[in-house]
Amino acid sequence: MTAIYKRELMSYFITPIGYVYLAVFWLLAGYQFTVLLLSGSGDLASEFSFLFTVVLLLTPILTMRLMSEDRRQKTDQILFSAPVTLTGIVAGKYFAAVTVYLMGIAITLVHAVVMAGYAPVNWAVLGGNILGISLMGMAGIAICMFVSAQTENQIIAAIGGLAAMLLVLALNGLAAMVPFPWLRTLLASISFFNRYHNLTLGLFRVADLVFFASFAGIFFFLTSRVLDHRRWSGR
């Protein structure tokens, strides 16, 4: 797994994807932080609310090549014959993407330190925000990695991942519009925004942490099954 992790992490910075992702993420986060400073507000929670949408929309860029590139170049068959389990292959790729993602999130700590020079910062709430956006992003990466495993075309993987993330974004709005109480409750219970919002308020509920971890775990497992099927089918 370690070798695959290093290979995938390095590939992010051999190709432009890692640089583009981080540049766009830092630019958008910096824009929102600048707006906060110019408005005289010290509420970093609004930056994290803004980043909620940014994370979901940029995640497909980060993950579009994770599985599809190996399939396109036929190097997946080499990986299948390597002395590593399918779980190790998926884990190496997944944690490489998570590492780049956390590099993007790290800019919020810089913003917090700068903000502390102008206004008091509630570090407990800040910690909840960082934990929430980290867990949400890790769940999003798992979903988009699963989408990437379905195709050898990076563009299709990116569009499919974007569609999945837009669905995640829409769940909260859909929950408010459906007329059936049972369906409204179901959609609200799997809404990323509702779970994320609790953490941004500094409310560390085990249910919310387990939700994101479970979501990531389910799609991690599904991706492993896709690779297992491809290994035995030879496709």
**Alpha-carbon distance 183 to 174, whole Å?**
10
Residue range 24-40, pLDDT digits in tens: 999 999 998 888 888 87
Euclidean distance between CA atoms 232 and 7, whole angstroms:
24
- The one-character DSSP state at 191 is -
Per residue in 185-215, pLDDT tens?
777 777 787 777 777 776 777 788 888 889 8
| Band of residue 105 on the pLDDT scale cut at 50, 70, 90 | very high
pTM confidence score: 0.89
Calpha distance 207→209 (Å, rounded): 6
Q: Could you give the CA distance from residue 209 to residue 184 in angstroms, rounded to a whole number?
A: 22
> What are the domain boundaries of the chain?
2-233
